[in-house]
Amino acid sequence: MDWKEVTIYTTTAGIGPVEALLEEHGVEGYVLEDAADFEEFLKDTEIYWDYVDEDLVREKRAQETCLKIYLPDSGEGAKQYAGIRASLESLKARDEAHAWGRLCTETALTRQEDWEWGWKQYFKPFPVGGSFLIKPSWERVDDAQGRRILEIDPASSFGTGSHDTTQLCMAALERYVRPGDALLDMGTGSGILAIAAAMLGADVRTVVDIDENCLKTARENAEKNHVSIGRGLCGDALRDAGLAEEIGAGYRIIVANIVADVIIGMAPMFAGKLAAGGVLICSGILNERASEVAAALEQTGFVILSREESKDWSAFAAKK
């Protein structure tokens, strides 16, 4: 069955009335794109960004709040859509203050295969570093050519393995991880780095992320690869002293694929959590910020072991 995507344009104030209208027509699920969320997102997560694309900011700020629903592309779906449009016209007539926006719709046809697969068709197996082959669960590999197969489904989390920063970190893990090394993964995302470390023989004890969904995805991915990634802790260790303490210390390896400002801010914490002679592997660092990160690490007492870079990104390995 194919589906009709219906986009209803409104405002933040109009979300509640439109939700109630949809519920009256038997629509319980929808995708909400609230224009106000983008401003809140920028404000609340400012520390985690090295830069924000100004074109993207302008584009997002120009977007209207909308709700997207999916109706079957059938006679019954057409009838349901007609009823929703009629109710929107009634709602618009009640909105004397014009607070609920345009309350109009746009439609597009979504094919069943697009609905189910979407971006998945572009995620194919590929080699990373000297020993890994990354693959999604829906792809088959007949000949891994001696590489370790790491199966990853990112869901909504960062980390398919295709980004330069992930690959730089995986190459560093291959270089520095020894069997039995106690490891901490800060900003685990899909769990790909913790899983790679475990496959290399590390004793992954703790993974941390600010998003609970990431921890769930990481756990599921670890199970697919038959490895343990220890306990998952959710929160912001820069701002939560209790979480920072709960993470513990004595790690032989810390891997942190985040951003420059957070790495700089966490440098003293990393030093305190590494065992003597331990190694910090960090990336998510734009090349133009690399010197700042190196200086912060050295001021904290780290010795830079290596700096690897791609076209835009850098990764460091530093010893305590």
For the chain, the domains span 3-117, 123-319
Share of the chain above pLDDT 70, in %: 87
Share of the chain above pLDDT 90, in %: 64
Range with the poorest average pLDDT among 113-127, 225-239, 263-277, 299-313 = 113-127
Average pLDDT over residues 81-93: 94
Note the pLDDT of residue 8: 97
3-state secondary structure the chain: CCEEEEEEEECCCCHHHHHHHHHHCCCCCCEEECHHHHHHHHHHCHHHCCCCCHHHHHHHHHCCEEEEEEEECCHHHHHHHHHHHHHHHHHHHHCCCCCCCCCCEEEEEECHHHHHHHHHHHCCCEEECCCEEEECCCCCCCCCCCCEEEECCCCCCCCCCCCHHHHHHHHHHHHHCCCCCEEEEECCCCCHHHHHHHHCCCEEEEEEECCHHHHHHHHHHHHHCCCCCCEEEECCCCCCHHHHHHHCCCEEEEEEECCHHHHHHHHHHHHHHEEEEEEEEEEEEEHHHHHHHHHHHHHCCCEEEEEEECCCEEEEEEEC
Note the pLDDT of residue 114: 59
Cα–Cα distance, 210 to 262 (Å, whole number): 13
Mention the CATH class of domain 3-117: alpha beta
Range with the poorest average pLDDT among 2-16, 38-52, 163-177 = 38-52
The answer to whether residue 105 scores a pLDDT higher than 80 is yes
Average pLDDT over residues 141-170: 83
The answer to whether residue 59 scores a pLDDT higher than 90 is no
279 strand-pairing partners: 253, 319
How far lies 311's CA from each of 9, 164, 174, 188, in Å?
Answer: 40, 9, 21, 23
The answer to whether residue 142 scores a pLDDT higher than 80 is yes
Note the pLDDT of residue 55: 58
Note the pLDDT of residue 3: 87
Q: Any idea which residue has 């929703």 for tokens?
A: 84
- Tell me the two tokens of residue 280: 């910090």
34 in a labelled binding site: no
Confidence of residue 295 (pLDDT cuts 50, 70, 90): very high
For the question of whether the overall pTM of this predicted structure is more than 0.75, the answer is: no
The answer to whether residue 118 scores a pLDDT higher than 70 is no
187 in a labelled binding site: yes
Looking at every residue in the chain, the average pLDDT score rounds to 88
Mention the CATH class of domain 123-319: alpha beta
Note the pLDDT of residue 156: 46
